[in-house]
Amino acid sequence: MKKRQNYLILFDIDGTILDTNGDGKKAFLDAFQNTWQVKIDKDVNFLGGVDLAVYQELCSHHQIDKKSSLTKWMDFQDCYTDKLKKYSNNNQWHLFPYCREILNYLKPLFPLALVTGNIEQGAKVKLEHHQLADFFPEGGFGEKVRDRNQLVAQAIEKASAHYGQDFKNDHIYLIGDTIKDIESSLENNIKPLLIDHHKRNSHLQDQYPDLLYFHRFQEIQDYFLKNIISDNQL
């Protein structure tokens, strides 16, 4: 089958491709406490979050000024990455069903890239743990921007440069698992595709009529086969 170079498929990581069973959050909070020698006394919502934004939110809560927070941002990233690697040894992480199979199916057919709130080092640790890093040569990452809309724009720009292709918006899909993935897709005028592994977000279909909604990766594979890869799309 011919590769569709003019289509781009973007993937989120956490909750979409894999689940660290809470280890990502633990590593992040441990690293923050170690970096700043503070005790975190607030609940932190990481769902659909961006690492830089979460880091700055915690700094603000602990009355750490912006200039000081930036001076230790790199130190924090290194500490977080080290802790994430250690947590990965607990064998608590898992891929969602059929994830590796759909990536093997899509890779020869479409350009792939990431959209993730993870810093790039953190994303690399999570993907390399499951031998998936080579599927995604580029992406938007959470160390330079605070906003998920910017992440998507960053990913498209970097993927366009990497693949040498100016992707049309209606040929770009973002596969994610949260409402933030949907909204950032729509904000960038690309197609949102929700993978609802736990069947908790079916109500979002009514809220977002343009949403492509699926429970399993097999259904997504079938969608691409029927709507893009079929002969009438050549």
Nearest to 103 by CA among 204, 211, 195, 21: 195
Q: Record the tokens describing residue 216, joined without a space.
A: 């399993």
State residue 234's pLDDT score.
Answer: 41
Which strands, in side-by-side order, build the sheet including 112-115?
A: 139-140, 112-115, 8-11, 172-176, 191-195, 212-214
Residue 223, φ and ψ in degrees, nearest 5: -60, -50
Do residues 151 and 180 lie in contact, with contact meaning Cβ atoms separated by under 8 Å? no
CA dist., res. 146 & res. 62, Å (int):
19
Q: Record the tokens describing residue 221, joined without a space.
A: 């594979």
Secondary structure (3-state) at 133: helix
Low-confidence stretches of the chain (pLDDT < 70) are 1-2, 231-234
The model's pTM: 0.95
Domain boundaries, the chain: 8-19+95-233, 23-88
Secondary structure (3-state) at 192: strand
- Each residue of 173-209: pLDDT tens digit? 999 999 999 999 999 999 999 999 999 999 999 999 9
What dotted CATH number matches 23-88? 1.10.150
Nearest to 198 by CA among 74, 97, 91, 101: 97
Nearest to 105 by CA among 146, 130, 135: 135
The number of helix segments (H) and strand segments (E) in the chain equals 10, 8
What dotted CATH number matches 8-19+95-233? 3.40.50.1000
**165 CB neighbour count, 10 Å cutoff:** 15
- Each residue of 102-126: pLDDT tens digit? 999 999 999 999 999 999 999 999 9
